[in-house]
Structure 1
């Protein structure tokens, strides 16, 4: 078992690594943004209330993270967008590596895992207004 101080620093560094990977994911469609930000949120919940609040109050990623933090759900539209982006990005990547079957299989396996992860997330109940 890790000493408390070492665990604190490890989770804090993992949180920032996830934020950086999430920001890269915002720019590159191959890397998912939301799962990394959710992981960062979890790391900061343990180590830094300040950065945890910073993520929750961010105007771009705050609303889905608040929903995840409160209900452990994502919207169906968010899941659909993520799956579509993953399919498009991985299709281009696999096509770019045409003839390199080993890399293509590795990308296909990674795409399958990522899509499976996204589809496995629990969906938020739709809100009906009168």
Structure 2
């Protein structure tokens, strides 16, 4: 191993070696990017979890697609801040929490007729809220 290779950090999770595995991860990543993009316009569909899933899928499937998403003008800054454990700006936290609760309550009331389903949705909203509140708050 050369000195240059020794200085580079190795990935914690190796990429799948087969083309089929990489293709599956890339298809899933693209699916989650699309859901995240739809979630920008629809308050009942949260954007952040889908974009985070897309980043994780692309990290396993395609370095090029992962770099594209991490440098995307809409999602890149938030993904990098989140990935580097730096946190989120206060405005992003507030907007995220408001949209999560609006979407969950709207969906639970209008689309989920069973009580246990509504309770499960509220539990997810509580979990997401706690997670977002625990993140470090960044100055804009």
Number of residue pairs matched by the alignment: 123
| Greater Cα radius of gyration, structure 1 or 2 | 2
Q: Which residue of 2 is the match for residue 4 of structure 1?
A: 17
Q: CA RMSD in A?
A: 2.6
Gaps of 5+ in 1: none
- Please point out which of 26, 31, 44 is paired with 1:17: 31
| Structure-2 residue corresponding to 1:34 | 48
Structure 1 length-normalised TM:
0.75
Whether 2:64 is the aligned partner of 1:53: answer no
Shift of 1:86: 1.9
Structure 2: which 5+ residue stretches go unaligned? 1-15
TM-score (norm 2): 0.70
- Verify: 1:69 aligned to 2:69, yes or no: no
How much does 1:64 deviate?
Answer: 0.4
